[in-house]
Every structure is written in structure tokens, then in C-alpha cells.
Structure 1
């Protein structure tokens, strides 16, 4: 948006911002947009918003206090996303307050647009802080698989990793050490080496550099350990590090171990080394400007992003040749890695944790007497559907808007039976095109519908909350205390009331109305699906109402029309996807300094017709992915 267009948008508003915007200026700058905030919007915010949204009150977990002082927080697009959502939908100011005048409302929305343009045009200058972190349980198991060739998964026995930042288990802030975890790592190393030594082909692969049993003991040990250290440490070992491991090997020999057992001790020591268990990058004390990470560090960032595992020989070779900072090479490697089956781990960990469909195995337990179709075979089919669908979109250059709405999915015989799709036989998942508009995208999938339901009934609240949080990054605040509970079983509601009517009585309470006005319509639109995702036209014999009315007045009825409402919010969905993907790639929560990168990722995705490959390559080539401070 040019400043001239910005001025025209604000013509007739009460803010007077138009007079500040010369028509000749090609685009807004961060400084000019900040000036506009001071002169135009801050008075509106002070008069209408600060009473409830300063640091002391912070209603809805939103504080606008930082806007009173110049600085980066004035341009926090996530904060302004919350403001825009509330102002545009009319939920703020609340119903018991005087609404914003039309000019004031338009001024706020237009300032937010200009702010985003200014941020997108500004250079990325701070890659954010990259912390040392340990391997999480998935990375540990996958790395041992690729290092040693074992099929077991020692990490599955470890305590669950926490989720931080953008909601992922690879976040450095949550990957701490404990005594219990060190015991698990010791047990994991013992079990992994024992599995290798029990299989001659695996042991032979590990010892492949040693071509003769007539070599001096330490010479043979060095031949096997040096290449293994390169792979285990994800960089060439220093001579001091090699000598340290040889010293452990020699000590084992001196204790009376034979060469073979002494090598087992040395390999275990490597697997327990902080240099293996920790992902650590070179620091440059005293250097103030950000620097490019070295090529081996790029290799690790790439492999743990797309494979949830250690770099392979091809990546390490490119690192040795100093080629992993070339944008063309990065693009080619990204395509190669996405095509590799190891990238299934990317779908599992990124999509599964973002969309919460991994909870299908640990948090979903429908009442089997009421939902007789549900069993573990169907549970697995539900998981396979959403996994295969997300994998097709993310790894095979699909169109990411298909996650909101699509005319196809993937089913096998048990799932096709639940969905009333004829002609499907066998356990294999295959792509099918819908012949009606009942289903489409994530919100029509059994896995998502079951994860957002209760054991004995649907939950419009949980389903609406899931859409707001996972697809639109517009989570409602936590519920206030003592708001009452709804029946656990919709069959227990007395009289002629439907469950929806009972819920509407609950949400009519003033303390509940604000949040439910945003959540419930989205959940109501999915009421044609029961608690396991089967289509229904009534609720326990009572008429089913699947209509919804959004706070901005948009009305719809049923899943198909609800998906059209979601497609109108595709910009919010794109921001959600890009922010989650960038946070996952960087192993941390996003910061204000990441916003230029975030907004350019959004633009890249839109210009690529919403195809995923360009977005993933853009993340890999981005400033914070390739730099540190």
C-alpha cells in the first residue's frame, strides 16, 4: 500500500493521519508509521482501550502499555493481530461500552495494514538468540537409527519432552537435563551398542574403515572412530577430541578388555558425550554484529529441521566443500531432503504437534457403548488420513489452503465406511475425491473431530477453540473461575432442549459471552459430525442446528459454509502456518525481530500460489536460519 493509497483509505476519518502522509512517498516506513501511532491512534487507544488493556488490568491477556513508548514493541504484528481481530469483529470494545466510531475503527485497521507493509520492507538485522539444546527423544532415536542402523527406538522410553515457543518439542527452552534423563541416555547407549554388536552386519558397517586385524590396536581404533566422530559430533573432530576417545579405548584395554570390547566402550563414550547429546554452535564473544553460521552448523540446522535427525554423508560433504551457504545449493538440498522418506519425521513432528492430531493415541477415548463404530483399527485409520493428507501438502508441494478446504482426502476401508464412501476395500490409504461437500480440509477429518470431542458427546467449544488456536492463532483467554459446567453426556439433558440450546444458556452469561461469541459459532458449524466424526442429521432424535453467526455478522450453516468462512480468513491462516513453521525451524518462539522475515515468508507463499515447497525453501534461506549472534 502506497502512502497515497493509505491517505485515501483514511479520508474522512477522525484521526487526522492523512495529513501526515505525502503522496510522493512510495511506501510507509517504520518511523513514519510510529509517528502516525503517536499523533493519530494513541489518543484513541488511550481513551477507549487502556483502562482494560494496560499492564495492570491486561484483560484477555492483552496489554497495550508498551505502545506508549517508542520501540520495537510498537510494531509487534502479533499484538496487532489480536487488536485487529477484536476491532474488526466488533467484540472490542465490549457490548456494554460505546462502540468505536466508523472512522476510528477504520483508522485502527488501516494503521495495522501500513505497519505490516513497513515491517515487511525493513531489513532483517537480528537473527535472535540460538540456545544450546539437547536432542529431544525423537531426534535421539532417529539419530541412533541413522548413525548405527538400529531399528529400536530408545528415546521412546524417555520422559515426554515439553513444548515451548511455538508449541513444539524441539524448543531449546524446554529441553533441559535431569538425573533421570541422564540415566535414560546411559541406558539408551548401552541398548544401542548391544543391538549393533548382536548383528554382525551392523557391527561390520561400524568397523568398515578397519581393513586388517593385524593393525596396532590404537591405529585400528582411530581408523574406525575418526569417521564415526564426524557423524556423531556433526562436524570434524579436533585432534584433542579424537585423543580423548582413544584414551578411553586404551584404558579399557589396560583393564583387560579385548580390542572388540574396548571399542564398545569407546563408542558408548561418544554416545554419552555432550558433543553428541547437545546441539551447540560456535560462539564469538565480543562480536556484536550477527554472523553466518558455519557450513556444518547449516547442515545440522537443515537435517534436524527436515529429518529430525543428524546430517547424512551428502550434507557433511557439502559442508566440507563450503557450499551450504549458497542459496541454490540450499534449495536443491531442501528438495532432496523433502523427497527422502526420512522427511516423514517432519510431517509427524511439525504437523502432528501443530495440529494436535498426535493426541489421537493418548487423549481420545470415546464411549464404546455409544460409539460402536470406534475401535483401534479406526483410530489408526483416522491418524493415517490426517498424516497422509498433511504429508501430501507439506512434503509434496501441495497447496496449503487445502488444509482449510479441499475436495479430496485419503481413506482406507474402515474410514470409508465411517464416511459413507462406497467402493473402498483394504487397509491401504488411497486418495479419494468427494462427491458432496460434507467434508473437506482438516475440519472434516475424524482425527481432528475426535481430538476436539468428549467421550460421550461433541464439544462445540473445544472444536471452535481448536480452529481459533491452531488455524488462526487467535486463542481465547482462559475461562474465568466458577462459570459452571455442561453435561458430560448430551443424552442427559432434560426436556426438549438440545445440547446447543443448553450451551447457549451458558454462554448468555456476561462473563462468558465475549469468548464464546468467537468460539462457539465455529464449533456449531461442525455439529453435523458426532464425537468420532460420523455424519449425523439429528442429535438423540432432536433437530440438529449447525448454523453459526460470527461476531461481525457473517452467518453460515453447516460444515461446507463454515469452511467458506475459514477461507475468508486465509491471511490469518497463512500467518499461523508461517509463524509455526519458522518457530519450528529455529527451535524457539518467535520474537519481534523475526517479523520482517515472517512477513516476507507470507508474501513468498502467496506468490507461489500457496504451494508449500517455496515456503520451506524460503525458511531455509532466511536470515535467522543462516545467522546467529
Structure 2
């Protein structure tokens, strides 16, 4: 039974349901709109059904129920029940309700996959080109641990339609599979997740190309000694395989690997050893299988039914969500250890880990992905102002445009607010901004220094004389994206 905290007013949600709702929604088998409230007047807790709770809240709050022909709810009573339902809804979707809080199943994006492989192997090069990265640090300015953005920095962009200006990357790696879920999706049955045969083949082709790449060598892989180097002749080979395999699987799958899963991979490794392969080649074969596994590719909360500690899965799932949100990649060993110890979910430990993650250079990946998606900055690449009116916009047509400088301004502002822990309101209204010489000229200011090109663009942090120039809304990138070739688009803005 749901009793209101406002008992002094002789009010209860149960009473309101009885008086105004169940006649059409549950009484005598009558259920309109597939909404049955009868059980909630007979002791069932409405918090057990958050989706229904939200529906009831909305129709009562907006005055849609009861219908006009029925006795209306008094305004005072309506305010009380809306207030109570809101409190119950907040409680029903609280952190303690794991069943409701489970995250949906998502597959890694190309950006996340590249980062995950790079971190898993401690790669010194990129896996494949990432044109999603619209701005690259050319002066080493990004140091989140310092809590301060420098006054001057050098960045670069890429030419339109080109994937050049990319960091060194692995040779011969297959492209990331296209999203074919509409035609060849994934199937879920309980906690068993599987890829369709065509998609599995694409990801296996990708993983094979990684381990077969000429760049897959000791010089480029920081974890070579840990996983791929030949062991000392005195070492028991099978024991060494088990040690390496358990470590690799735990990091790749973001949790301690269950015995059944471990045995499958160990059997595969043993089969490769029996064929006469050396340790390095055996681990490469196993790695290619790991990188094509749904347990690696999919991001979802896992109900670890073999675990004797229910909180273990909570901690491990939280570690994955944190790392893929802030780092776009796998949890590192410290974060995983905190999760395995069952302390990550505790406020003090969680705060400590988040602070550590925000101080790590891998935070640059968050800055590479979130603000560009939030502001839809990829749209600026296709902006084509009237060439006759804005001749200076196309300074090296057709590939190079002033937009390449424009897109850096909001990205640098976002990084400053994040790294310096400044007020989020500065994203809307700040007294400073970032200017390149070309951007200053475009804004009608006196340019300082050479105009530069996309390979190396010097930017300077400066105060704005007119606050209209502060924040992301009125900067050149957003203004250009919300304009046509020769006129603005007020509705779009």
C-alpha cells in the first residue's frame, strides 16, 4: 500500500486511484488503454513499474486524466498526487534499482574500437585513420593533470575529404565494418550475445589484419614482453600461456573471466601449441579471436550468474561505463582492480577514480568525440558560403577553408572549461576565446602573426572586448553552420 507522507491532509495515492481511476482502469475487468491500476489499490507497490508510473504521472499532471465526462480531480489534490508520484518515480529509478538501470546493448564505434585495441596492447601507433578527430594537438598543450590550459598552443586539422595529417598508424589493417545492424544485426538470448555470420566475418577479418600487420612488432607494442615475447626455456609453457591468457582476457572483457570462457580460449591456444607454433604466434592467434568476440565488441551490463558477490557486477559495469565515457576505451588495471575489490561504487572511491581519469591524457578522447557530436561540428565541413561574397573564406580552394580555423575555437573553449573545472555557463557566455591569425582577420580584428595553414595552426587565448564573441553560440563555427550560402537561417539557429 502506498501512503502519502502528507497523511495530515488525509491524502493517499491509493485513495485517488480508487476515486478517479480504477473504474476504467482495472475494476470489473475493464482496462482502457492497457493501463491497469487495480493492483496498486490492493497493496502492490507502484514503484515496481516505473514506466507505468511515469505514464500515470504525465496524464494527471497535464490534466489529460480523468476524462472530461468524469469527476475531475481537485486542483489541490492534483498538485499533491503529482508531487508524490514524482518522488516515487525518482525512487524507482534510483541507483539501487539495478534491473531498471541496466544499460542498453551497444557495439563499439570505430573510435572506441581503435582506442580499446591501442590500450589493450599499449600500441605506439594508431590502428587505422580516425577522421572523427577534427583537431589534433601539435604542441603538447593538452595536460589535464595541470588543471590549466596554456595561453598559446598549436593544433591542426585535415583537408576536406582527406584523411591526411593522421598520426602514424598500422599498415595493412582492414577497414572497420560498416553498421549493418538493420540487415545483419545481433541476436540476444539471455546473457548470450552473438554476431551474425556476416558481421562476425567482417570483424574477424579486421582482427586478423591487425595481428598480421607488419606494424605488429616489438617496436610498436608496449605490452610485447607481457604477452608476445618468447618465455625463458625454464618456464613451464602451459602455465605461462594460462597466466598471459587470463590477464589479456580480463582486460579485453573488462572483468575476471569465467572458467568456462577461459577454458575455451585455453583449448584454442593449446591446439596452436600442438601445431608447433611459438608463444608469440600462439598469443597472436588467440588475440585475433578475442578482438572478434562479442564480449569484447559489445558494451552492456552483464549479469554474472556465477558470481557469489552481486555487487561485483555493479562495480565492473560501472568501471566500463566510466572508461568508455571519459576515455572512449577499456578500463585500465587500476580502475578494474577497484571494481574487482568491490569499492568502486562507494562514493569516496568513485570520486577518487573519476578525478584520476579526468587528469589522464586519455581524456583527450572525450574532447575529440563529445563536443563535436554535441555541436554537430562535422556539418561545418560541408558549409559553402557564397564564393563571390566571401572570397577570403576559400583561402586555398577547394580543400582549405576558414572553417578549419573556425571549428577549433569551440573545441578549445570546451577543453578549457573541462580542464580548468570552470563554470559550464562559460560555454554560453565567456569573457575569453581562442584566436588564430586567420580567424582574427575573419572577425575583423588585427591578425597577430602569420595566417598559417591546416598542418600547423597557432592559437592564442585572449580576452574578448565584446561578450557577444564569448561562448559557443555566437562563434564563427556555429554561425556558419546555421547559415546558407548567402543568408542566415534564423529557424535553424
Task: Determine if the TM-score, normalized by the shorter chain, exceeds 0.5.
Answer: yes
CA shift at 1:142, angstroms? 0.9
Distance in 2 between residues matched to 1:439 and 1:237, nearest whole Å: 53
Change (3 A) 1:338 1:262: same
Establish whether residue 457 from structure 1 lines up as the match of residue 478 from structure 2. no
Q: Which stretches in structure 1 are left out of the alignment for 5+ residues?
A: 1-21, 40-53, 55-69, 85-106, 164-174, 464-629
What's 1:141 paired with?
114
Q: Is the 8 A contact 2:441 2:447 kept in 1?
A: no
Change (3 A) 1:359 1:114: farther
SS at the partner of 1:294? helix
Q: Is the 8 A contact 1:307 1:345 kept in 2?
A: yes
CA shift at 1:255, angstroms? 3.8
TM-score, normalised to structure 1's length? 0.51
What's 1:397 paired with?
421
TM-score, normalised to structure 2's length? 0.64
Distance in 2 between residues matched to 1:33 and 1:392, nearest whole Å: 54
Distance in 1 between residues matched to 2:475 and 2:492, nearest whole Å: 15
CA shift at 1:152, angstroms? 2.2
CA shift at 1:390, angstroms? 1.8
Q: Which stretches in structure 2 are left out of the alignment for 5+ residues?
A: 1-5, 22-32, 34-51, 64-74, 131-174, 182-192, 395-399, 451-456
SS at the partner of 2:492? helix
What's 2:437 paired with?
413
Higher-RCO chain (CA-CA 8 Å, sequence separation at least 6): 1
Equivalences, count: 375
SS at the partner of 2:226? coil
Q: Is the 8 A contact 1:158 1:181 kept in 2?
A: no
Q: Is the 8 A contact 1:154 1:188 kept in 2?
A: no
Q: Is the 8 A contact 1:377 1:414 kept in 2?
A: no
Distance in 1 between residues matched to 2:54 and 2:344, nearest whole Å: 32
CA shift at 1:259, angstroms? 3.6
Instruction: Write the deviation string for residues 568-624 of structure 1: whole angstroms up to 9, x where unpaired.
Output: xxxxxxxxxxxxxxxxxxxxxxxxxxxxxxxxxxxxxxxxxxxxxxxxxxxxxxxxx
Q: Is the 8 A contact 1:137 1:161 kept in 2?
A: no
CA shift at 1:397, angstroms? 1.9
Distance in 2 between residues matched to 1:452 and 1:162, nearest whole Å: 31
User: For residues 157-236 of structure 1, what are the structure 2 equivalents within 5 Å?
Assistant: 157-158=175-176, 181-195=199-213, 198-203=216-221, 205-208=223-226, 211-236=231-256
Distance in 2 between residues matched to 1:112 and 1:451, nearest whole Å: 43
Change (3 A) 1:215 1:159: closer
CA shift at 1:312, angstroms? 0.8
Equivalent in 466, 471, 474 of residue 441 of structure 1: 471
Distance in 2 between residues matched to 1:291 and 1:242, nearest whole Å: 22
What's 1:374 paired with?
393
User: For residues 22-41 of structure 1, what are the structure 2 equivalents within 5 Å?
Assistant: 31=13
Cα RMSD for the two superposed structures: 4.4
Q: Is the 8 A contact 2:115 2:329 kept in 1?
A: yes
Instruction: Write the deviation string for residues 169-212 of structure 1: whole angstroms up to 9, x where unpaired.
Output: xxxxxx99666643442233123323486432345623326651
Establish whether residue 365 from structure 1 lines up as the match of residue 384 from structure 2. yes
CA shift at 1:378, angstroms? 2.5
Distance in 2 between residues matched to 1:261 and 1:132, nearest whole Å: 33
CA shift at 1:140, angstroms? 0.7
Q: Is the 8 A contact 2:436 2:458 kept in 1?
A: yes
